[in-house]
Chain A
Amino acid sequence: MTEDLETFRAETRAWLEANCPPEMRQPVRSDKDINWGGRNPVFQPGQKEWMDAMAGRGWTVPDWPQAYGGGGLSPAQTKILREEMRKLGCRNPLNSFGISMLGPALLKYGTEEQKREHLPRIARGEIRWCQGYSEPNAGSDLAGLATSAEDKGDHFLVNGQKVWTSYADKADWIFCLVRTDKSTKQGGISFLLFDMETPGVSTRPILLISGYSPFCETFFDDVKVPKGNLLGELNKGWDVAKYLLGHEREMISGMGNEGGNKSLHAIARDKVGLTEDGKLADPLLRAQMALFEVRTRAFGAMSERFMDELKAGRAHPAQPSMMKYYGTELNKTRNELMMAAGGSDLLEWESDASNGGAAARAWLRTKANSIEGGTSEIQLNIIAKRILQLPGA
């Protein structure tokens, strides 16, 4: 077994070395460096080759079954692949809500037909998905959503509005929570998949404090969705939604996990300077950074432990909430420290020197980490009730 894994590791490394283009071994510097795939993608040099090479082996989704475009790798092999990619500095070949959120839900709740239709296209990066959960009056209280889907025999007629739909204007399909029964709250929600080009779907961007606007309001006006696009059972969409949220939280929690904090250290050394004995010249900043470094490294171990427990089926089902909470708070701290270290150099908003204000924009963007995918307060509620079993208020 271990010998097989060693062989797998050697072969994997050799393949990555031969197939990962040099451009794809550079650190991600801005949003442009992230590939989201889709019907109308804009690729940077090397991006498409890298995605296609990985998809060819099923390695954009290494642990999915081969029948659906995956790599069919065991948990141990998947871990090795990730480790080898990290060692070589390979970028993620494809970022996608299809992979991190919808895919797992399709694997669990989809019909064979739905799996064959959607999963391979997700794996190859052909279809870009967005998430239609939140509504203007259903944020933390998501189950209070009002967007309705009426049964019209062979199709549902969808009407209503979503908000905060990340990349809705660039997405090809949406996975969407709709109300199919008004008489109960959680028990009247269904989970629909549909094409964003369906007549009646429109989007309007929302500008964020970071100056970016990857978020949209999404409107549905008499949108006809075929019945076959229902994922899971009618009125049982809340189960699917919660399952998917677990995966979303798991994905977001990865953020706190950049052990080493290399760019933070480099910026601090560069901008703040060092004393004669090689310590940062601002002792209080250094102290804050040191404690942060301890937490990041410890959280790195926590992430490893969490993934191992998850794969072995022994993680508490509410543990993703803890990972999401801790990881996002850490990520916010990292960006606060980065701004504190960078001083006025990082305040330039558009200059070339600041790479278009990348650090400041990233700092502002991270403020959403503890809001999106369920706020930190909601995660703490979940931990308190489901893990610590404190009495319901």
Chain B
Amino acid sequence: MPLFLDDEQTMLRDTARDYVSEQMPVAHMRKLRDDANPDGFSREHWKSFAEMGFTGILIPESHGGLGLGQVEAGVVLEEIGRNLAPSPFLTTAVAAVEALKGSAQAERWFPGILAGETVAALALDEKAKHDGKVAMEAKRSGNGFVLSGAKQFVTHGHVADLMLVAAQLEGEATLFAVPADTAGVTATPERLTDASLASRVTFEDVRLDGDAAIGGDAYARMLDAARIGASAEMLGVGGGAMDMTMGYLKDRKQFGVAIGSFQALQHRAAHLYSELEVARAAVLKAQQDIDTGRAENPAMLAAVAKAMTGLATTLSVQEAIQMHGGIGMTDEHDIGFYMKRARVLAEMFGDTNFHADAVAKMAGF
């Protein structure tokens, strides 16, 4: 399989691009922010995602989904990123679906996800930096479990129907599917730099059924999918910022010529293009190798993708503000939103340093 999008994937991308750029352009996000929208995303668009089949991309056909792969999910995520569209797509239709696949919980949650009604959140981190460690413990109690502890940086936590919670069970980091309305779960939303909402969540003696534990393998698989998905979304953010910057370089005149004719800027633009292209390849490679079952080490592919897109997108948004000059510093101009979103995605599920360190460990040094 060649390492570029095939015709069907391209068609899906075009559909996603048309919808997201027309219905959820940056102005949509700006309005949600200005209105201090309490959900942080639009339920109406989440429904439309379902109608277009997006929410079922990763859900197996046997469950009524499209049974497609990470490549297809990534195509949608990239358009979400390009338009800074607030959406529970990554946590719900990608990470949660990947986690629930093959578990007894699938039957329960997939219909709501397919219908664009259910929202899932990932309760993984316990401190400011994602370090892959889980301290929170789950104890067995009768046929089920009891969870106690606290999580943070839980995107969509306050509107979630389902929370996927990482906790230690008998020495292994395990994922639990926790209905958000279970007694003892409290989510307190905080607005982040990029105007999205993430919660601090506490779990006080939360009692769960036996089938709530969906296992360590599911946790690893979900993390890979979430990281690669965040990479795809970040790639969209980096690419969107770059497109906007290239447009500006062609339009803005100083000294009687377009600033894009200055070689000092041309070379930086060309370097940025190269970094983003390489990042794009790393993301597609990870998605495709996992989809085709060729991946010998999915965690390595995910780490390379997340670290590389972190490098490229950070460069893209920094160059974007600098090359826009003063206007780039204003709230009125959209470009600043790209920098904020990139920062949030860069932290999500491990930053560039965390993943580069992981790559080094896996490579044996």
A residues bordering B, Cβ < 8 Å? 260-261, 265, 268-269, 274, 278-280, 286-287, 289-291, 293-295, 297-299, 301-302, 304-306, 308-309, 311-312, 314, 322, 325-326, 377, 379-381, 383-385, 387-393
Give the contacting residue for A298; candidates B261, B266, B271, B304; CB below 8 A. Answer: B304
Main secondary structure of the interface of B (DSSP, over half): helix
User: What is the minimal beta-carbon distance from A252 to any residue of chain B, in angstroms?
Assistant: 15
Given contacts A301-B282, A391-B260, contact A294 B270 (CB under 8 A): no
A265 close to B363 (CB less than 8 A):
yes
B246 close to A390 (CB less than 8 A):
yes
Q: Find the residue from A279, A301, A308, A377 having the highest chain B CB count within 10 A.
A: A301
Which residues of chain A come closer than 8 Å to B273, judged between CB atoms? 322, 383, 387-388
B269 close to A390 (CB less than 8 A):
yes
Question: Interface size (B, Cβ < 8 Å)?
Answer: 46
Interface 9-residue window, one of B135-143, B157-165, B354-362: B354-362
Give the contacting residue for B258; candidates A299, A301, A391; CB below 8 A. Answer: A391
User: What is the minimal beta-carbon distance from A253 to any residue of chain B, in angstroms?
Assistant: 11
Given contacts A383-B273, A391-B250, contact A294 B359 (CB under 8 A): yes
A305 close to B258 (CB less than 8 A):
no
B365 close to A269 (CB less than 8 A):
yes
User: What is the minimal beta-carbon distance from A340 to any residue of chain B, in angstroms?
Assistant: 14
Give the contacting residue for B4; candidates A265, A314, A379; CB below 8 A. Answer: A314
Give the contacting residue for B279; candidates A278, A280, A298, A314; CB below 8 A. Answer: A298
- Can you report 19 residue pairs joining A to B where beta carbons are below 8 Å apart? A290-B356, A295-B311, A297-B359, A298-B278, A299-B278, A304-B3, A304-B285, A306-B281, A314-B4, A322-B273, A377-B267, A380-B267, A381-B263, A381-B266, A381-B267, A388-B266, A390-B260, A390-B269, A391-B261
Give the contacting residue for A301; candidates B249, B265, B284, B352; CB below 8 A. Answer: B284
In Å, the complex CA distance between A305 and B262 comes to: 31
In the complex formed, the residue of B with least CB distance to A382 is: B270
Which residues of chain B come closer than 8 Å to A389, judged between CB atoms? 250
Give the contacting residue for B274; candidates A261, A383, A390; CB below 8 A. Answer: A383
* B2 within 8 Å of A (CB atoms): yes
In the complex formed, the residue of A with least CB distance to B2 is: A308
B281 close to A305 (CB less than 8 A):
yes
B250 close to A301 (CB less than 8 A):
no
Q: Find the residue from A278, A325, A393 having the highest chain B CB count within 10 A.
A: A393
User: What is the minimal beta-carbon distance from B154 to any residue of chain A, in angstroms?
Assistant: 28
In Å, the complex CA distance between A299 and B365 comes to: 20
User: What is the minimal beta-carbon distance from A195 to any residue of chain B, in angstroms?
Assistant: 40
B304 close to A297 (CB less than 8 A):
yes
Which residues of chain A come closer than 8 Å to B325, judged between CB atoms? none
Which residues of chain A come closer than 8 Å to B261, judged between CB atoms? 390-393
Given contacts A297-B304, A304-B285, A305-B284, contact A291 B356 (CB under 8 A): yes
Which residues of chain B come closer than 8 Å to A381, judged between CB atoms? 263, 266-267, 270
Which residues of chain B come closer than 8 Å to A325, judged between CB atoms? 270-271, 274
* B257 within 8 Å of A (CB atoms): yes
In the complex formed, the residue of B with least CB distance to A390 is: B260
A291 close to B365 (CB less than 8 A):
no
B269 close to A305 (CB less than 8 A):
no
In Å, the complex CA distance between A336 and B257 comes to: 39
